[in-house]
Amino acid sequence: MALLKVKFDQKKRVKLAQGLWLMNWLSVLAGIIIFGLGLFLKIELRKRSDMMDNSESHFVPNSLIGMGVLSCVFNSLAGKICYDALDPAKYAKWKPWLKPYLAVCVLFNIVLFLVALCCFLLRGSLESTLAHGLKNGMKFYRDTDTPGRCFMKKTIDMLQIEFKCCGNNGFRDWFEIQWISNRYLDFSSKEVKDRIKSNVDGRYLVDGVPFSCCNPNSPRPCIQYQLTNNSAHYSYDHQTEELNLWARGCRAALLSYYSNLMNSVGAVTLLVWLFEVTITIGLRYLHTALEGVANPEDPECKSEGWLLEKSIPETWKAFLESVKKLGKGNQVEAEGVDAGQAPEAG
């Protein structure tokens, strides 16, 4: 028994074909939107690629770009099919290809759904990528004279200003690395010598942060050096007073920004997926309704359209049987090849 059977006359078939034609061209526009979102996301990730540990995060934007292109191609072709379906002579050339085309559309919808899910699931990998990337970037902050790293200071300063953040997890991360270049240290100074000698790795560590960590909204002039020394500043207690630095770490700030962006892209992709599924169902009804026309020379005759020719359990059973037959066929072919090679070997 056919699943979700619907009766069609000539008028309903024409309306269905015209509606699907319009929906397919709207879906072409949706494909362009998906392509644009993937391109925008790729550019946003590229902007801060120096702050990321690897390129795994580019899988989602690359997939969106590819799915956008495929959506435009498939829906343009489907629009042409729906337009030609109104003319029996033109439809005849598409008739043998409709079933394989619908199978490809189903596969496309599955992949599009998985890409939409990946948009929501990217947060985990992005979090570890940002954590390692920011940590390494902060280590290279002082290398303003090293080729390939001389831009890192500007990149991190602009990042902290734009996202109103400081350090990886917080401003104290700057206490654990030497972010001042040796070029700007006076090694004849006793203070500098003592600080370097007091550190096992021979690094110049200070309880200070770069200027880009300062919060301009604070009424007090920025205190960026000797943050843990209460006696170095008037009326100051670093444990009780709210520091005039950005409190949030840059990893949390970037993760929040990219998570919101990815959730928005994922929501749009899911809406497009629902639209594509609707079109695929409509194409299936159009295909079966045109196939069910008893007399092609009489366009006024009625026909029936359905989603599946059999019920879901029967369809699944038939699918498994076809897979088994395909496996047995390959096995027989392999045995035939082995049997043919045996006499030659003898």
Q: What is the pLDDT of residues 180-214, one digit of tens each?
A: 888 888 888 888 888 888 876 788 888 899 999 99
The maximal CA–CA distance of the chain, rounded, in angstroms, is: 103
Q: 164 versus 299: which is more confidently predicted?
A: 164
Mean pLDDT of 148-171: 90
**Could you read off the pLDDT of 125-137 as tens digits, one per residue?**
788 888 888 988 8
Name the most confidently modeled range: 1-15, 232-246, 270-284, 291-305.
Answer: 270-284
The answer to whether the beta carbons of residues 21 and 282 sit under 8 Å apart is no
CB 78 within 8 A of CB 97: no
Q: Which long-range contacts (CB under 8 A, 24 or more apart) does 57-60 make?
A: 57/122, 57/125, 57/126, 57/129, 59/118, 60/115, 60/118, 60/119, 60/122, 60/262
User: How many CB atoms neighbour CB 340 within 10 A?
Assistant: 9
| CA 299 – CA 288 distance, rounded (Å) | 15
What dihedral do alpha carbons 31, 35, 37, 38 form, nearest 10°?
Answer: 140
pTM: 0.79
Residues pairing with 8 in the sheet: 303
Report the candidate in 179, 207, 182, 177 with the shortest Cα–Cα distance to residue 192.
182
pLDDT for 316: 60
Cβ burial 160-177 (10 Å sphere, 16+ → b, else e): beebbbbbbbbbebbeeb
What would the pLDDT profile of 13-30 be if each residue is shown by its tens digit?
Answer: 788 888 989 999 999 999
pLDDT number for residue 294: 56
Domain coordinates in residue numbering, the chain: 3-137+252-309
Per-chain mean pLDDT for the chain:
82
Token digits for 200? 């096992």
pLDDT at 225: 87
Predicted confidence (pLDDT) at residue 94 exceeds the cutoff of 90: no
Asked if residue 336 has pLDDT above 60, the reply is no
